[in-house]
Amino acid sequence: EPEVTQTPSHQVTQMGQEVILRCVPISNHLYFYWYRQILGQKVEFLVSFYNNEISEKSEIFDDQFSVERPDGSNFTLKIRSTKLEDSAMYFCASKKLAGASTDTQYFGPGTRLTVL
């Protein structure tokens, strides 16, 4: 069964450094998402991406964050200058298209980001 994959599984970085989190969505999916979950808290929406542009973003997704689909298979989240409070699990998700019963998002296993 196809699945969303994410790399790395764990990333440790120093405060102020740039990090890139990578995701490979399910191959025939058209919508891509990033969510994050700070330890002990809810899963929070960050951004959605469709047709090579951001569809929607949350207040969390400020200028420090960017997303890109650099080729036909990868979807990345870049944090330009990491802060301690960026430490969290980051989940990538994808879905095939909107409408009817096919509107199901599938999530990857996550990348644990630790900012020191």
3-state secondary structure 53-72: EEEEECCCCCCCEEEECCCC
Q: How far is the CB of 16 from another protein (least distance, A)?
A: 26
Q: Kindly tell me which of 5 and 81 has the beta carbon lying closer to another protein.
A: 5
Residue 48 makes contact with another protein by CB under 8 A:
yes
Residue 96 makes contact with another protein by CB under 8 A:
no
Residue 110 makes contact with another protein by CB under 8 A:
yes
> Which of 75, 80, 81 is CA-nearest to residue 54?
75
Question: Cis ω on the peptide bond leading into residue 8 (within 30° of 0)?
Answer: yes
Residue 106 makes contact with another protein by CB under 8 A:
yes
Q: How far is the CB of 81 from another protein (least distance, A)?
A: 25
At residue 75, the 3 state secondary structure works out as strand
Q: Kindly tell me which of 72 and 99 has the beta carbon lying closer to another protein.
A: 99
57 class by beta-carbon count within 10 Å (0-12 exposed, 13-18 middle, 19+ buried): middle
Q: Which residues pair with 94 in a beta bridge?
A: 32, 106
Residues near another protein (CB under 8 A) are 4, 31, 33, 35, 37, 42-45, 48, 50, 55-56, 58, 89, 91, 93, 98-101, 103-110, 112
